[in-house]
């Protein structure tokens, strides 16, 4: 917010100290994001898309171990919250864990940040594992509806997402 200052009959726009603080905080966050983007784009296995950096594993692990690996990288398993992000993940053409589970409450699928699943991309007849298959993956990536539920102890590749600031 700017404020008008009148000196010698001339009106001058000046920024309030609150506005200066917001601008400086925004600049700091932009610098942090740019720095993270530079680091991630140069790191083996990481890709930038939208406002996030993604890592696709070249080995396989259980869902829990995959999640631990992501967290150890300062990220988490991917949370898919747009059609663009779903299409991005599919075009990687990899059978891989995503950040979706109904381990806590059978049939109530939640993302790893605790948010409820709203728009879903389950494959035909999925999820079909009831109490046996409580972790989500991308399996049939040739079609947009690519998700499958799978036994969490199964070993698969995985995809991590690190949200970049702003």
Does 150 interact with ligand 2F8 (rule: CB under 6 A)? yes
Give the SS3 label for residue 166: coil
Give the residue from 90, 115, 118, 91 showing the smallest Cα distance to 104.
115
Q: How far is the CB of 70 from ligand 2F8 (least distance, A)?
A: 22
Footprint of Ca ion on this chain (CB under 5 A)? 128-129, 133, 148-149
Q: Structure tokens of 132?
A: 């046996």
Does 133 interact with ligand 2F8 (rule: CB under 6 A)? yes
Q: Structure tokens of 10?
A: 């001339």
Among 43, 59, 115, 128, binds ligand 2F8 (CB under 6 A): 128
Is the separation of the CB atoms in 147 and 126 below 8 Å?
yes
Residue 32 or 128: the one with the smaller Cβ distance to Ca ion is: 128
Write out 79-94 in H/E/C secondary structure: CCCCHHHHHHHHCCCC
Q: How far is the CB of 152 from ligand 2F8 (least distance, A)?
A: 11
Among 66, 86, 146, 148, binds ligand 2F8 (CB under 6 A): 148
Residue 85 binding target from Ca ion, ligand 2F8, none, CB below 5 to 8 Å by type: none
Query: Residue 136: enclosing H or E segment and its boundaries?
Result: strand 135-138
Residue ranges binding ligand 2F8 (CB under 6 A): 126, 128-129, 133, 139, 148-151, 154
């Amino acid at each position: 917010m700017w404020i008008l200052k009148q000196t010698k009959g001339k009106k001058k726009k000046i920024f309030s100290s609150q506005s200066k603080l917001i601008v400086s905080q925004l600049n700091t966050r932009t610098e942090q994001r740019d720095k993270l983007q530079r680091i991630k784009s140069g790191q083996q296995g990481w890709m930038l898309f939208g406002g996030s950096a993604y890592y696709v594993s070249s080995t396989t692990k259980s869902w829990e171990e995959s999640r631990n690996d992501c967290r150890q990288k300062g990220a988490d398993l991917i949370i898919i919250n747009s059609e663009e992000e779903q299409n991005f993940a599919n075009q990687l053409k990899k059978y891989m864990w995503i950040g979706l589970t109904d381990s806590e409450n059978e049939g109530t699928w939640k993302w790893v940040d605790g948010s409820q699943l709203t728009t879903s991309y389950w494959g035909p007849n999925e999820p079909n594992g009831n109490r046996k298959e409580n972790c989500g993956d991308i399996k049939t990536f040739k079609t947009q509806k690519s998700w499958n539920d799978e036994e969490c102890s199964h070993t698969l590749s995985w995809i991590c997402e690190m949200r970049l600031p702003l």
